Amino acid sequence: MGEPVFKAKQIFEWLWKKSAFSFEEMTNLSKPLREKLIEKFEIKAVKILTQQKSKDGTIKLAFKLWDDNIIEGVLIPTATRMTACVSSQVGCSLSCKFCATGFLERQRNLDPAEIYDQVVLIGQLAIKNYNIPLSNIVFMGMGEPLLNYANVMKGIEYITKPEGLGMSPQRITVSTAGVTKMIKRLGDENVKFNLALSLHAANNERRSSIMPINDTNNLEMLVEALNYFHDKTGTRVTLEYCVINDTNDHEEEAMELAQFAKKVKCKINLIEYNPIQMADFKASSAEKIEKFAKILEQQKLIVNIRRSRGKDIDAACGQLANKEKV
């Protein structure tokens, strides 16, 4: 455009450091230049379509994308942290039987800017509602992050680098249903963020029955990939295990989980199951979950019980189903 190089640096800073959603906001550019930019380019910013606030303070957002697709994200406030739960795809192709998003068709991958915008918008809500900045980001919304590998990695780069939002990668967790090839690639790239595996059963037959991805990425392959990741990065993996009544919550299943967990450097998060309309699964009782945790602790494993938040607005783990329509 025949403009000095420093103008490009200013625009980059407005987009990725100051999170400008329009050229009009770029006030240190001349008005003629802003008008030229408006004429030639478009910022396809993500917009908040709706928001719901749970009685526990959790806020669920429906985001509208430039092509009218809709995704969901969640702000999860607790006493110690302010977490953004973001999506990586429109829909999902993995069809996990207990997850509402799994019943949606995958429409497309999100691009790095759409991932970045979710973090910015949820961060603004954190300040507006709680006057506390975001402390953590989890890729646990809609989609499988490792099936949108390049865009998720680029999005995290803009979120973490000093020329972007400057957040610490150690405060980011990417959750996968277990794409072993890509888990190894994360190791090869020596990523600094955390990795969580959605496990939910430590027996191949049972896991395949609720998570079809296990047919091609089974438990033996996962052990190998997770150990490879740990050897390369030194980062302990988190195993996520939704405790579902009479599906994976018996003593036998706890022992299977213990045997699996002993093969990898990990900690275990037991998650309360959140029922969805599309499936007949039910949540285990608090007593059953406590008993399950005790068995794991007796096996000298690190275990946390994660209480679900935002259940009353379908914002809890596994409940994001895109009920909004444009």
Can you give the pTM of this predicted structure? Answer: 0.90
CA distance 278 to 264: 33
Torsion, CA 38, CA 66, CA 144, CA 212, rounded to 10: -150
Q: Is the pLDDT of residue 312 over 70?
A: no
Q: What are the residue ranges of CATH 3.20.20.70 in the chain?
A: 44-313
Q: Is 324 part of the annotated catalytic residue set?
A: no
Least confident of 71-80, 163-172, 205-214, 268-277: 268-277
- Checking if the pLDDT of 318 tops 70, the result is no
The pLDDT mean for the chain works out to 91
| Res. 326: pLDDT tops 90 | no
- The confidence score (pLDDT) of residue 319 equals 46
Residue range(s) in the chain whose domain bears CATH number 1.10.150.530: 1-43
pLDDT at position 48 is 97
Lowest mean pLDDT among 151-155, 164-168, 316-320: 316-320
- Of 3.20.20.140, 1.10.150.530, 1.20.120.920, 3.40.630.30, the CATH number of 1-43 is 1.10.150.530
- The fraction of the chain above a pLDDT of 90, given in percent, is 79
Q: Give tens-digit pLDDT for 116-148.
A: 999 999 999 999 999 999 999 999 999 999 999
Distances, alpha carbon 32 to alpha carbons 9, 24, 28, 36, 39, in Å:
18, 11, 12, 6, 11
CA 31 to chain centre: 39
Cα end-to-end span (Å), the chain: 36
Is 317 noted as a catalytic residue in this protein?
A: yes
Name the DSSP class of 224: H
Please report the pLDDT score of residue 316 as a whole number: 46
Q: State the catalytic residue, choosing from 13, 24, 72, 252.
A: 72
Q: 44-313 — its CATH code?
A: 3.20.20.70
What pLDDT does residue 96 have?
81
Tokens linked to 247? 């599906």
pLDDT band per the 50, 70, 90 thresholds, residue 105:
confident
- Of the candidates 92, 96, 242, 317, the residue annotated as catalytic is 317
Closest CA to 253 of 235, 266, 268: 268
Helices (H) and strands (E) in the chain, counts: 9, 12
Report the Cα 227 to chain-centroid distance in Å. Answer: 22
Residue that the structure tokens 């329509």 belong to: 325
Summarize pLDDT for 266-281 with one digit per residue, the tens: 999 999 888 777 777 8
**How many residues make up the chain in this entry?**
326
95: confidence class by pLDDT, cuts 50, 70, 90: confident
